[in-house]
Amino acid sequence: MLYFVTEPETENNYFGTYHAALRSEFNKRSIPYREIALVGSPYTLARILSTVRSRPHDTWLMSYAHNPKIEYIAQKPGRKFAHAHGLEASLFEPATLEGYALNEARAFAHYDAVFVNTNWARDLVMVRYPDLNTEVVVSGFPFDPRALEDFLHVPKTEDLIVLNQRFALDKLHVLEVYLAEKFISEGYQVIHLLPRKSFDHIQGERESRVLFRQGKLRGLKFVINDTKAEYYENLARAQILITTPVADTLSVGTLEAAALGVIPIAPDWGPFPEYLRPDNLYPPYNVAKIMERVARPPGCRVDWQQFMPEKVVDTYLETMGVS
């Protein structure tokens, strides 16, 4: 039996996309599994787990490797696997979860293997934890661009640039505001897309709140999206996406943009060179090169094969020994 341990899903988080892709692939392949949702208190989880009579040859798959509730699940018989979507080992943006102080090495040590999105992510883990006995496997993130085809009919707005990363220090929001002012002075429209929850977070954080006001004074428009469909429609209108973070282990937002025909411009650092062409990349923090890329936009071709759900699940099943 495969026990699939899932995280809470919300309208705007990526777990909904991730879980749906895995459920679909498991069902298509007629793989028997039981889903266990990580909701509620540790007491609730303990009660749920008390009904699970796993055996040594069973398999556990955690959808988020860092969740400290692995401490409970580790006590159950069976091999343990998980996906690490972000990393505490990241050079600039340590992973966080619901306010927990994570111990990444301790969490990873509970697993037979940990899946990561990119080779960049694997390298970060191997350098930070050279004594880790857990296998670290590059699986990619299950993302099918065909799922966004319904939004390809949205007409493009001429000279519209979009920014869609979280508006926070680790995402270089200072650089965003500076870039926005320069592009607006050259006749571009620049918008930042964000869910309402992120907007509320900005209002409660002094640094981001001050920079938010400065961005608006310089002409940067903030567009709040209450649903994922609304976000996709607004993103699809753009001609170009500029992503500034150098801490991501993937950037699902970049994949979403490219799937909608928006030309991605990203740093030539971290995971981006693994799936974007050199013409779409710029040296981190290099404003002149960013402006050059926007002035002469490249195409938006992406190596989608590594992210197709069937390929990701192939890697999962082969590593876990499940058929």
**Lowest-pLDDT range, 36-50, 98-112, 202-216, 303-317?**
36-50
Give the highest mean pLDDT range of 35-49, 70-84, 161-175, 207-221: 70-84
- Asked if residue 98 and residue 65 are part of one domain, the reply reads yes
- Asked if residue 255 and residue 157 are part of one domain, the reply reads yes
Q: What is the pLDDT of residue 170?
A: 66
- Asked if residue 190 and residue 134 are part of one domain, the reply reads no
The yes-or-no verdict on residue 204 having pLDDT over 80 is: no
Work out whether the CA dihedral 246, 121, 20, 4 comes out positive or negative. negative
Residue with token string 């990444």: 104
Tally of structural domains, the chain: 2
- Asked if residue 290 and residue 240 are part of one domain, the reply reads yes
- Asked if residue 115 and residue 84 are part of one domain, the reply reads yes
Mean pLDDT of 245-262: 90
Mean pLDDT of 206-229: 87
Residue 319 burial by Cβ neighbours in a 10 Å radius (0-12, 13-18, 19+): middle
Q: What is the pLDDT of residue 309?
A: 96
Residue 274 burial by Cβ neighbours in a 10 Å radius (0-12, 13-18, 19+): middle
What are the residue ranges of helices labelled H in the chain? 15-28, 42-49, 70-73, 104-108, 119-128, 173-185, 196-203, 206-217, 228-236, 252-259, 287-295, 309-320
- Asked if residue 160 and residue 28 are part of one domain, the reply reads no
Band (pLDDT 50/70/90 cuts) for residue 169 is low
DSSP string, 55-68: -TT-EEEES-TT-T
- Asked if residue 113 and residue 35 are part of one domain, the reply reads yes
**Lowest-pLDDT range, 6-10, 70-74, 130-134, 154-158?**
6-10
The yes-or-no verdict on residue 106 having pLDDT over 60 is: yes
Residues 6+ apart with CB under 8 A from 233: 151, 154
Residues in the chain, overall count? 323
What are the residue ranges of helices labelled H in 218-302? 228-236, 252-259, 287-295
- Asked if residue 152 and residue 253 are part of one domain, the reply reads yes
- Asked if residue 157 and residue 54 are part of one domain, the reply reads no
Instruction: Identify the domain containing residue 206 by its residue range.
Output: 145-303
Residues 6+ apart with CB under 8 A from 242: 161, 162, 163, 176, 179, 265, 266, 290, 294
- Asked if residue 158 and residue 297 are part of one domain, the reply reads yes
Mean pLDDT of 9-27: 86
The yes-or-no verdict on residue 100 having pLDDT over 60 is: no
Mean pLDDT of 290-300: 92
d(CA 318, CA 323): 8
Read off the pTM: 0.90
Q: What is the pLDDT of residue 185?
A: 96
- Asked if residue 213 and residue 116 are part of one domain, the reply reads no
- Asked if residue 22 and residue 171 are part of one domain, the reply reads no
The yes-or-no verdict on residue 42 having pLDDT over 60 is: no
Q: How many CA atoms lie within 13 A of 265 on its CB side?
A: 28
CATH number at residue 150: 3.40.50.2000
